[in-house]
Copies of this chain bind each other. A is one copy, B any other.
Amino acid sequence: MKTLATLEPLIARLREVQHLNSAASLLSWDQETYMPPGGGPARADQLATLQGLAHDKLVSPEVEALLMQWIDPATGQARDQPGDAWDEPSRSLLREVWRDFSRARKLPSDFVKRLGRECSLAQQVWAEARGQNSFARFLPSLRTIVALKLEETRYLGYRDSPYDALLDTYEPGATVAALTPLFATLKARLVPLLNRVLKSRAAVDDALLFQTYDPTRQMEFGKLVLTAMGYDFDRGRLDLSAHPFTTSFHPTDVRVTTRVYKKEFSACLFSCVHEGGHGLYDQGLDQERYGTPLGEALSLGIHESQSRLWENCVGRSRPFWRCFYPLLQQLFPEQLKAVEPDRFYAAINRVTPSLIRVEADELTYNLHIMLRFEIERDLIEGQIAVEDLQAAWNDKMRDYLGLAPPTDAEGVLQDVHWSLGAIGYFPTYALGNLYSVQLYEQARRDIQGLEEEIAAGRLTVLKKWLNQKVHRWGRTFTADHLIRRVTGTPLSPEPFLAYLEQKYGELYRLSS
């Protein structure tokens, strides 16, 4: 039996690639948190160099020679010698390294550097454009990015849609052909549910969330919840950034960010819990396998399932607040002393069509994603031009949510993703929502009295289950395999839809 020990020469090279990628991640984290404003252009050059080198090291002749020894390039699978098969971890590792290697090899090194540099610059232009509410200001950068991503689809290749090549970057195997019916099912159930909610006469008001909440105390509470979740501050930290995110340089250094608004309670806390879910995944990866696919997150959809599970299934649930609401009341007596737990629960779960994806409630969130999916698909398939994005955005907002963005900052400029070149990323958020409920329902079946544990503040019971079932495996399994392995069934929209119908049926007193 051949084991990971055989692969050591390959693994040493992969680790070097990972060190470069981790350094690049720190440069990006710094860019979003502490970099002085003038440092942008030089940072773009530094990032491009690191990304270019990491790419070159991965596709080097040395790595190719090692892989060719061990892998059948026709199947992308490990080659067994008669009587000397590979063990399972080695097979998984080789399969996934081959995926990364063969994808990366299609991209010229010069292209990788250009893309890295342009994205780092575009990200800064986007931030300015958003501040100035001007899509026109961002347009030239976006045109560059989209042209580069189209170039990328030609390098990567695809069967049906060029958008498939980009989707596959973030969610291996995802395609327009598979997502279209899935999203149609969701839409067919979500829109009627939304309409019933909007017609409901149940009193669900969230004005109480828009009182003045001291930012320092908000951060304190965020840290308290992160700690309760089992997020390890010896191996992480919490900072502020314009757009909350999680980044990892190693399981021993996984950082989350949040944002704080003085006059709004939800942003800080739910960003903490959301990013904390991501952070637990990255802290829970196998340190021994650092630098190899076995020590990496499986896909963005699975990553998002972890953040959404904590944010929604836990953080917006009654059991969670049974424990944490009294603590919150202590921190904000003036604001919350007179507010009954039920009223608070209703406020944080209020459904209302809104302009901003990251502030959307659980019910309308996926509608924001479908809008972006359609726009990106049409853009990459050449059905609409970059110039038309603003109009397309506003049209679809009316269609899906009945709203007209008053400014670009609240419309087409709201997300950082396009400026980062992350086209094809948004659908993973919708997948994450589906996975999150499917996993959480399984956790409730597996862990006796889970909701009582949560209500007692023992959130780490759930963290440990996720560590065992999801985190520690890295990319050992495909997403499809993992989800079947843990829940017994393939990905399905049913648990998610049933969860929403139950939750909002109760909250909005809908007749069933």
Contact = CB atoms under 8 A, between A and B. Distances in A.
A196 interface: no
B237 A38 contact: no
A35 interface: yes
A385 interface: no
Interface in A12-48: 15-16, 19-20, 22-24, 26-27, 30, 34-43, 45-46, 48
Interface in A290-318: 290
A253 B43 contact: yes
Contact of A250 (B23, B34, B39, B252): B39
Interface in A132-190: none
A253 B50 contact: no
Given A22-B42, A38-B232, A235-B38, A49 B16 contact: yes
B42 A234 contact: no
Contacts of A43: 249-250, 253
Given A26-B30, A27-B23, A252 B49 contact: no
A30 B287 CA distance: 21
Of listed A23, A41, A53, A237, residue having the most chain B CB within 10 A: A23
A250 B27 contact: no
A321 to B, nearest CB: 29
A258 to B, nearest CB: 15
Contacts of A235: 36, 38-39
Contacts of A35: 253
A236 interface: yes
A499 interface: no
A261 interface: no
Nearest to A250: B42
A416 to B, nearest CB: 21
Nearest to A53: B53
A465 interface: no
Contacts of A48: 19
A38 B37 CA distance: 29
Contacts of A20: 49-50, 53
A45 B249 CA distance: 11
B36 A237 contact: yes
A233 interface: yes
A22 B46 contact: yes
A237 B50 CA distance: 24
B19 A234 contact: no
A47 to B, nearest CB: 8
B34 A237 contact: yes
A282 B249 CA distance: 28
A23 B36 contact: no
Given A26-B26, A27-B26, A253-B43, A49 B233 contact: no
A234 B37 contact: yes
Interface string A38-68: 1111110110111001000000000000000
A253 B39 contact: yes
B19 A252 contact: no
Contacts of A37: 234
A35 to B, nearest CB: 7
A16 to B, nearest CB: 6
A36 B253 CA distance: 7
Contacts of A26: 26-27, 30, 46
Contacts of A45: 15, 19
A19 B49 contact: yes
24 contacts: A19-B45, A20-B49, A22-B46, A23-B24, A23-B50, A26-B26, A26-B27, A34-B34, A36-B233, A36-B234, A36-B235, A36-B236, A36-B237, A36-B253, A36-B255, A37-B234, A38-B234, A38-B235, A39-B249, A39-B252, A42-B249, A43-B250, A43-B253, A46-B249
Interface of A: 15-16, 19-20, 22-24, 26-27, 30, 34-43, 45-46, 48-50, 53, 232-237, 239, 249-250, 252-253, 255, 290
Cβ-closest 7 pairs across A and B: A39-B253, A42-B250, A19-B49, A38-B235, A38-B252, A19-B46, A38-B234
Given A19-B49, A26-B27, 20 more contacts: A15-B45, A19-B45, A20-B49, A23-B23, A23-B46, A26-B46, A30-B30, A34-B239, A36-B235, A36-B252, A37-B234, A38-B252, A38-B253, A39-B235, A39-B250, A41-B252, A42-B249, A42-B250, A43-B249, A43-B250
